[in-house]
Amino acid sequence: MTDQDTSLFQMTLLHRAAAVEALLTDLLSDQPQDGEISRPPRLMAAMRHGVLNGGKRLRPFLVMESAALFGAGTPAALRVAAALECIHSYSLVHDDLPAMDNDDMRRGQPTVHRKFDEAAAILAGDSLLTYAFELIAAEATELDPGAKVALVTALARAAGIGGMTGGQALDLEAEKVKPDEAGIIRLQAMKTGALIRFACEAGAVIGNANPEDRERLAEYGSAIGLAFQLADDLLDVTADAAHMGKATGKDAAAGKATLVSLHGIDWTKRQLSGLVAQAEELLAPFGEKAALLKQAARFIAERQS
Ligand code: GRG
């Protein structure tokens, strides 16, 4: 990736992040919205702390760039992107709870249960999860009903039993019984890969892509989802906590098997290069239009935080 490519990608990521943050700030205000009786201020504050705290907004970027590939750079893509970020943020809030990873810091700040309390963190997570589906289904999201149903179905699958929560359940079991390589890959495809796959597939749904292109985007999402987790496992070994804004070295401390612990750092770096090549190949039919998505694959594989 040339320096020019990197700066165009970084600028677009920041630009998309600013747009999604502005929308989320508006949506998560204390002001009750149509059809709501009230918005409990402490619940809203906990939700905002879990969401508006400086994430990279990578998943929203993927939704919006994938939609743009099919000519749909619309407000609807921004609302779906915001919905997905609500679900991602909820997963981090719950993952940090004492019953799960028991973390004190996230995105460089105290975790929600540390700043508020456990009950507030549980309710903030629950509320973000349900609000995400409301955001997609709401009238203000200008998509036809068929697209909304497709998005809600795919998002529920990605976030639920066969996706993120199922993957988290397998991850907790993996601390007791170490999975083999296939088991690790399956667990990771569910825990972190499914939401990233959804982000890319969602763009195709919003852009009314044909089934073949929708599948192509979903496969691209799977490749970069695996790359994302491999890079995360690598950073857990190589980066320091101050740089990451969260604790590192946790996998080794928990005796957790990862592909990095099985195969080592050099093998992981080679895998990452292979996944970037695979992602680029999947996007090849879209030509120059997919340049930013190709750069996203590189960014994910090479990221330092
Ligand atoms: C508790 C229901 C439930 C699910 C938890 C995804 C997950 C499942 C837990 C997160 C644990 C974790 C840190 C996994 C590593 C991959 C990951 C999701 C990292 C954080 O995502 P980034 O780097 O974070 O996109 P930002 O802060 O930039 O949004």
List the pLDDT tens digit at each of the 305 positions of the chain. Answer: 667 777 899 999 999 999 999 999 999 999 999 899 999 999 999 999 999 988 999 999 999 999 999 999 789 999 999 999 999 999 999 999 999 999 999 989 999 999 999 999 999 999 999 999 999 999 999 999 999 999 999 999 999 999 999 999 999 999 899 999 999 999 999 999 999 999 999 999 999 999 999 999 999 999 999 999 999 999 999 876 566 566 667 777 777 889 999 999 999 999 999 999 999 999 999 999 999 999 999 999 998 87
Q: What's the alpha-carbon Rg for the chain, to the nearest Å?
A: 19
Taking the centre of ligand 1 as the mean of its atom positions, its distance from the CA of residue 129, in whole angstroms, is: 14
Distance between CA atoms of 89 and 95, rounded to whole angstroms? 10
Which of ligand 1's atoms lies nearest the C-alpha of 59?
A: 25
Taking the centre of ligand 1 as the mean of its atom positions, its distance from the CA of residue 271, in whole angstroms, is: 21
Protein residues whose CB sits closer than 6 Å to any atom of ligand 1: 55-56, 58, 88, 91-92, 94-95, 100, 107, 164-165, 168, 191-192, 232
Taking the centre of ligand 1 as the mean of its atom positions, its distance from the CA of residue 159, in whole angstroms, is: 12
pLDDT of residue 244: 56
Dihedrals phi, psi of 237, to nearest 5 degrees: -90, -35
Dihedrals phi, psi of 131, to nearest 5 degrees: -65, -35
pLDDT of residue 257: 86
Distance between CA atoms of 262 and 277, rounded to whole angstroms? 23
The amino acid at residue 193 is G
pLDDT of residue 255: 76
Which of ligand 1's atoms lies nearest the C-alpha of 305?
A: 23
Using one digit for the tens of pLDDT, what is the confidence trace for 61-106? Answer: 999 999 999 999 789 999 999 999 999 999 999 999 999 999 999 9
